[in-house]
Amino acid sequence: MAVPVALIQGASRGLGLAFCKHILKSRTSAAVIATCRSPDGAADLRVLAGQHAGRLTVLKLDVDREEDVREAAARVKESFGRLDLIVNSSAMLHPSGKGETSLRDVSAQGIISTLKTNTVGPLVMAKYFSPILQKGGGGFGQQPAEKSKQHSGVIVNITAKVGSIGDNGLGGWYSYRMSKAALNMATRNLSIELGRSRPKVVCVSLHPGTVNTDLSRQYHKNVPKDKLFDAEQSVSYLMSIIDTLNIEKTGKAYSWDGTELPW
């Protein structure tokens, strides 16, 4: 069987870095491609690459720049020829670092910037990388015996519970909520189109829980300790879900505990 290949978009810190560490440790034969905006400034990622020479490849990719995504896809195709998993993990809460608490805080530029990174970026990733995922060998997820239901690759978009329209009872955080709700729609659309392809690609949105990272740390004071995860713990939960994915689970959003999230 071919070596599984995973690409983690937004791998310099937080969940992305934790995904790299987890896969390198738990899948001793897997190759990992880690992308970030500025590899030269990603000290932790450079250390990890040194520890796993030959297994971890670091690529420069700014998800806000379509030309970066296109060039990275060409390099991956040339060097690896295939992919089994993509995790889109980079995100911003808002350019200011704070979620809007009311309509007074909303600005057009803030919404546009947040949507560009959180929604447009993962969709453009799918545009350029899905043909390479279709050449994968199904190295992640479960493959049913029935050949027509087997998949080649998996796209995971990291969403957030606050992006659920049905679950929204508090309001606020316009840009972030809208960007994640739109990302969920992109995931659903992708699951339909890539579920018709031969071979098929599984597409899901995953909610990591409340994670102790820079993105939302200032809002954690009221979060119960047992519901505040470090990045490694969250990724462990998410990888357990990824390992159970198949084409029948495509096009849905799942929380860290495996429960399905309402759109």
The set of residues, in sequence order, having a beta carbon less than 8 Å from that of 25 and lying 6+ positions away, is none
Q: What b/e readout covers 221-240, taking b as 16+ CB neighbours within 10 angstroms?
A: eeeeeeeebebebbbebbbe
User: Would you say residue 1 has pLDDT above 70?
Assistant: no
User: Would you say residue 219 has pLDDT above 60?
Assistant: no
Distance (Å, whole) CA 83 – CA 216: 31
**pLDDT category of residue 220 using cuts at 50, 70 and 90:** low
Distance (Å, whole) CA 94 – CA 105: 11
In the chain, where are the structural domains located? 5-255
In this structure, of 70-84, 137-151, 164-178, 192-206, the range with the lowest mean pLDDT score is 137-151
The set of residues, in sequence order, having a beta carbon less than 8 Å from that of 31 and lying 6+ positions away, is 3, 4, 5, 6, 55, 56, 57, 80
pLDDT value at position 149? 87
CA dihedral 83, 88, 89, 92 (to 10 degrees): 150
Q: What average pLDDT does the segment 89-104 reach?
A: 92
User: Would you say residue 140 has pLDDT above 60?
Assistant: yes
**pLDDT category of residue 10 using cuts at 50, 70 and 90:** very high
pLDDT value at position 221? 58
pLDDT value at position 214? 60
Longest dimension (CA), the chain: 56
Q: What is the CATH number of domain 5-255?
A: 3.40.50.720
Distance (Å, whole) CA 255 – CA 161: 8
How confident is the prediction for the chain on average, in pLDDT? 93
pLDDT value at position 132? 97
Q: Rounded to two decimals, what is the model's pTM?
A: 0.93
Q: What's the pLDDT tens digit per position in 244-259?
A: 999 999 999 999 999 9
Query: What type of residue is 257?
Result: D
Q: What average pLDDT does the segment 129-156 reach?
A: 93
Using DSSP's 3-state secondary structure scheme, residue 85 falls into strand
Residue pair 35/61 in contact by the 8 Å Cβ criterion: yes
